[in-house]
Structure 1
Amino acid sequence: MYLGMDIGTSSVKAVLANDAGAIVATASRELALSHPAPLWSEQDPDAWVDAAIDAVDDLAAARPRETAQVRGVGLAGQMHGATLLGAGGQPLRPAILWNDGRSHAECAELERRCPSLHAISGNLAMAGFTAPKLVWVARHEPDVFARVAHVLLPKAYVRYRLTGEMVEDMSDAAGTLWLDVGRRCWSETILEATGLGLHHMPRLVEGSQPCAVLSPDFARRWGMAPGVVVAGGAGDNAASAIGLGAIAPGDAFLSLGTSGVLFRVTERFAPAPRSAVHAFCHALPGLWHQMGVMLSAAASLGWLARILATPESELLAPLGEAVERPSPVQFLPYLDGERTPHNDATAAGAFVGLRSATGRDDIVQAVLEGVAFAVRDNLAAMGGSSPAIAQVDLVGGGSRSALWAQIIADVLGIPVHRVEEGDVGAALGAARLGRLAATREEPAKVCTRPRRLASFVPHASTMAAYDEAYRQWRKLYPALKELSA
């Protein structure tokens, strides 16, 4: 039996997976976000730890026999979050999250300080990444910066609390902007440009590599045997890829979680910084991946549900499982800025085309389509590299909507597949990495593809209408950017 934990933005999920690879139990705990100023997004690091412990407590209470059989543990987590620790290992301030845009000015400063940044990291300096956040802290909170002894990412902080070890895997480390992604090691050059050194960084391991053991206290608490192996784990998207069996070049998936990610496995380091595509290490040795990233995907629908005080399911129900034509309203889903392809932390969301006849269903449909158009932007940004994306598996909370899946298929013009356990893919991938660390099996044996629950093929007539709608939608960002300049 293997335990996987996903330290997400809105919740922590934990799963138990058996030797056959099936999920036998799940548990989750909600997390709260804080937005103390415009563009800011923070969380209490200890809230991640408490939620993770509570979720595993739930599993141990509901499935004590299975939990007692756990041999390996893996962790996945939201990427980029700057968790700043003092000399005693305590957080010095709330963690600055991936969707925090306060450091957009520091990005230009970092690229000025380190002209080789793109060549080493393979990525643009973006406000979401960890390194610019530390430049911001040094400038605006110098007393905090002076006391920073260690910088960890969210899942690494949870692992530290569960094992006493400060360790990070390659896939999550790549998202800090401090990693030499091609060589899979920390870059002293980029660290120096942010006023840090190697001593501030955790030890690096591959995601499937054992790196620690669960502390005796937690092993006893959950009824596990001593010496349970903890794996390097992965950033949430690389972990989702492991859960989906996306471990061969060309394999691709689309995650519709709080953020949105179009993910493609590559056999080599394939940077494309000019189009704001991320090039990161995969969670397995010798593999890399590209990602196009949207900062507000399912979060856009969640935002609409919140301001209309209506559950998402009630918003979607009147639209059924397919639409005949695009909404007369268009939506830019840039509620927290955007990464691919604009790299603009100050980009804002917008509705265009509102009239007195506009109804709620038009607005709901526009939100779904706006996110789908943003996915198409990502597909276009990644189009210059090979292999081409011919189909995608769909995961994340948004994958539960058949309507959204069909809209995405029609907008992208490629088949979209909803898969089993799509909403816990990262936690399942973490469990698989825990298994690989404990058993040293071949990844191809463990990282199998999940069963497809439904496939959505593009409808020719709707595709044509969406092609025209997308061309019009593409004009919105530059026009509104000019107005707000």
Structure 2
Amino acid sequence: MHILTVDVGTSSMRGIVFTQEGRALFSGQRAYQPLYLQNGWVEQEPADWESALFGLLSQAAEASGEGSWGLDAIALTSQRSSVIPVDRDTRPLCPAIMWQDKRVEPLCQELEKENDWVFKRCGSRVNPVFSGTKMAWLRRERPDLYKKAYKLLAVPDYLLWLLTGRLATDHTYGSRSLLMNLRTRQWDRDLLALFGVGEEKLCPLIEPGSVCGILTKEAAARTGLSQGLPVVTAGGDQQCGAIGQGVAKAGAVSITAGTGGYLVAGAEKIPESLRDDVLCNCAAIPGQYILESSVLTCCSAFDWFRREFYGPDATPAQLDKEAEESPAGAGGCTCLPYFQGRSTPDWNTAATALFQNVTLSTRRQDMLRALLEGIALELARGVEVMEGYAPIGEITINGGLTNSRPFNQMLSDACGLPLLRRGRADATARGALMVAACALGAYGSVGEACAAVSRNDPAQAYTPRKENREAYRLLREQSDRLYRLLWPPVQ
């Protein structure tokens, strides 16, 4: 069986053709860039995703024709919370409002008093990242556009329609909306009323791992692929990335340090002791859940620093070397890495990034290390919260920032736990492969698929250094004090 997995990220889209055992036969990537506007607005043209999708499918068709293999299915995994209003012909009415867009902050502040009630129903507090607040903003601030919109789609909903002609969204995306009841897995009438979103504007909900439809005649003509190929919705990118790292059962934990940072733990059911210090979403494994903590900027903050302080010619090896030249604690320089605000546990959109204790003796490499340590400490806070639900023995990591060996060691030191980085950088695509292969009957369960696909995946281990633990404990306390001083909790 040969499955083309399409992984829709924030800055690029990847397409990889796998055998059911996980051997890659083709890989392609198309880059694009969201538009960062004033006042924290972030938008992107839906045509960027359409062009990337059909370009990758055309490449895969060409590679298939040149090789001795054909495709049996397409699996889609995607970023989760951006919103695209479309008309009755499913044509976008405006640029997508991206997941990291901050225009909804005032609306979120108005609804803060409802946080406890909202969390109990959907597993998250009111926040600016999830799609429901963006839809509520459209209804309030762009009423004519909201009225004209036939549907309010997530990015994967739009791409599935381009491939199959069917409008649907799976539970992993629904659980990132603030509009779906986490227990019934249906759109919640009371949540819809709170946010003022009509259910008719939303797609029908289906299980992740479902065959959403088949490749249409039109999509086949645009790509050179065969009409009738099954198209599987494999679930959200972080859910699939966790599965690709081995989180196929309760108790396993993964960290993905990509554009943003996500810590995910598997759960077979909603914990009875669930508190609002984590998010609870639907897993890509039907019927299961994940607990999630997040940091809004990882690679995006690192890329900003590299670009502004080193220039475009700086190599990863150079930055690794300079980060290692600064000691643990970065010579006293510290960084609060809130370039897009702070997410879990308090969803503080007012927070901004800060370098503190910068003196005339501070070097560029100290500021680089302080940034990486700040991100590591934020992720370590999430690990600490997860340990309140279940013991953690080992964490698997992936994502662009984990290409940095110094960062991985800092993260292990900050968490005080061993880390395992898989040798491949395509955990999200592999997770989508596992979900799709199970859906198509190649394996009896996602766990069985995970064991088979990961069997020959090399890994690199990082263990915490005792000599750095005290430095990071003190740095954590200092960062916490500074954060509370700048953004004291609302009484």
Q: TM-score range by the shorter chain?
A: over 0.9
Q: Give the structure 1 partner of residue 256 of structure 2.
A: 255
Task: Report the 3-state secondary structure (helix = DSSP H, G, I; strand = E; otherwise coil) of the residue aligned with 2:6.
Answer: strand
Distance (Å, rounded) in 1 between the aligned partners of 2:272 and 2:15: 33
Secondary structure of residue in 2 paired with 1:262: strand
Aligned match for 1:351, one of 349, 355, 362: 355
Correspondence for 2:31: 30
Contact 2:115 2:126 in 1 (8 A): no
Pairwise CA distance, 1:104: 1.8
For residues 442 and 324 of structure 2, what CA distance do their matches in structure 1 show?
43
Deviation at 1:482, TM superposition (A): 5.3
Match of 1:126 in 2: 127
In structure 1, the residue matched to 2:341 is 337
Tell me: higher relative CO, structure 1 or 2? Use CA pairs within 8 A at least 6 residues apart. 1
The letter of the residue matching 2:483 is Y
Opposite residue 466 of structure 1, the aligned amino acid is: Y
In structure 1, the residue corresponding to 2:426 is in which secondary structure? helix
Deviations 1:262-285 (A, max 9, x none): 100011123888544110010112
Contact 1:341 1:381 in 2 (8 A): no
1:413 corresponds to which of 413, 416, 419: 416
3-state SS of the aligned residue for 1:182? coil
Query: What is the SS of the residue equivalent to 2:39?
Result: coil
Contact kept? 2:124, 2:276, Cα under 8 Å: no
Q: Could you tell me how far apart the structure 1 residues matched to 2:326 and 2:115 are? A: 49
- Report the secondary structure of 1:73's partner residue: strand
CA distance in 2, matches of 1:364, 1:252: 27
Cα displacement string for residues 297-319 of structure 1 (whole angstroms, at most 9, x for unaligned residues) = 11110110122224361551323
The 3 A distance-change label for structure 1 pair 7 and 357 is same
1:104 to 1:7, Cα distance in 2 relative to 1, 3 A: same
Q: Report deviation, 1:113.
A: 7.2
Give aligned pairs, total. 483
Give yes or no for contact 2:320–2:405 (8 Å, CA) kept in 1.
no
Q: Contact 1:315/1:364 (CA < 8 Å) preserved in 2?
A: no
* Matching residue of 1:392: 395
Contact 1:163 1:212 in 2 (8 A): yes
Please name the residue that 1:375 is paired with.
Answer: 379
Cα-to-partner distance string for 1:301-340 (whole Å, 9 max, x where unaligned):
0110122224361551323768652212111111011111
Name the SS for the 1:407 alignment partner: helix
Match of 2:468 in 1: 462
Q: Between the two proteins, what is the percent identity of the paired residues?
A: 25
Task: Give the alignment partner of residue 316 of structure 1, picking from 300, 315, 319.
Answer: 319
Q: Which amino acid aligns with 1:428?
A: R
Pick which of 431-440 and 105-114 moved more: 105-114
Match of 1:433 in 2: 435
Q: CA 1:420/1:352 → structure 2, altered by over 3 Å: closer, same or farther? A: same
Q: Which residue of 2 aligns with 1:401?
A: 404
CA distance change for structure 1 residues 88 and 223 in 2, over 3 Å: closer, same or farther?
Answer: closer
Indicate the SS of the match to 2:40: coil
CA distance in 1, matches of 2:113, 2:416: 40
Q: Give me the whole-angstrom Cα distance separating, in 1, the residues matched to 2:96 and 2:271.
A: 30
8 Å Cα contact 1:121-1:181 kept in structure 2: yes
Whether the 8 Å contact between 2:175 and 2:281 is mirrored in structure 1 is: yes
Deviation string 1:416-453 (CA, Å, 9 cap, x unpaired) is 111022x3221222233332333363222212336242
Aligned equivalents of 1:445, 1:274: Cα separation in 2:
31
Q: Check whether the contact 2:76–2:234 (CA below 8 A) recurs between aligned residues.
A: yes
Q: Is the 8 A contact 2:54 2:223 kept in 1?
A: no
TM-score by length of 2: 0.92
Q: Structure 1 residues 114 and 368 mapped into 2: Cα distance closer, same or farther (>3 Å)?
A: closer
Q: Are 1:67 and 1:222, in contact at CA under 8 Å, matched by a contact in 2?
A: no
Change (3 A) 1:415 1:41: same
Contact 1:238 1:283 in 2 (8 A): yes
1:381 Cα deviation (Å)? 2.9
Aligned residue among 477, 482, 485 for 2:483: 477
5 Å-filtered alignment, 1:30-109, equals 30-65=31-66, 69-109=70-110
2:368 aligned partner? 364
Once residues 351 and 235 of structure 1 are traced to their aligned partners in structure 2, the CA distance between those partners, rounded to angstroms, is 33
Letter in 2 for 1:379: V
Most deviating of 8-17 and 182-191: 182-191
Q: Secondary structure in 1 aligned to 2:255?
A: strand
Distance 1:373 1:391 in 2: 17
CA distance in 1, matches of 2:162, 2:273: 36
> For residues 89 and 155 of structure 1, what CA distance do their matches in structure 2 show?
13
Match of residue 171 from structure 1 = 172
SS state at 2:440 partner = helix
Q: Is the 8 A contact 2:323 2:369 kept in 1?
A: no
User: Structure 2: which amino acid aligns with 1:417?
Assistant: L
Residue-by-residue CA offset, 1:39-67 (whole Å, 9 max, x unaligned) = 21111112111112212323333443559
Contact 1:82 1:96 in 2 (8 A): yes
1:450-474 superposed Cα distances (whole Å, 9 cap, x missing partner): 6242100001111222111111121
Using a 3 Å threshold, how does the CA distance of structure 1 residues 223 and 139 change in structure 2: closer, same or farther?
closer
What are the Cα deviations for residues 167-187 of structure 1, in whole angstroms up to 9, with x where unaligned? 111112100111111222221
Question: Residues 229-251 of structure 1: CA distance to partner in whole angstroms, max 9, x if unpaired?
Answer: 11122111001122223110011
Q: Secondary structure at the match of 1:137?
A: helix
Kept after mapping to 2: 8 A contact 1:230/1:437:
no
Counterpart of 1:347 in 2: which secondary structure? coil
Task: Find the aligned partners of 1:436 and 1:366 in 2 and give their Cα distance.
Answer: 43
TM-score by length of 1: 0.93
Q: 1:326 aligns with which of 326, 329, 333?
A: 329
Q: Helix, strand or coil for the counterpart of 1:393? A: strand
In 1, the alpha carbon distance for the partners of 2:211 and 2:13 equals: 22
Tell whether the 8 Å contact from 1:114 to 1:193 is kept in structure 2 after alignment. Answer: no
Given that residues 14 and 55 in structure 1 are in contact (C-alpha distance below 8 angstroms), is that contact kept between their aligned partners in structure 2? yes
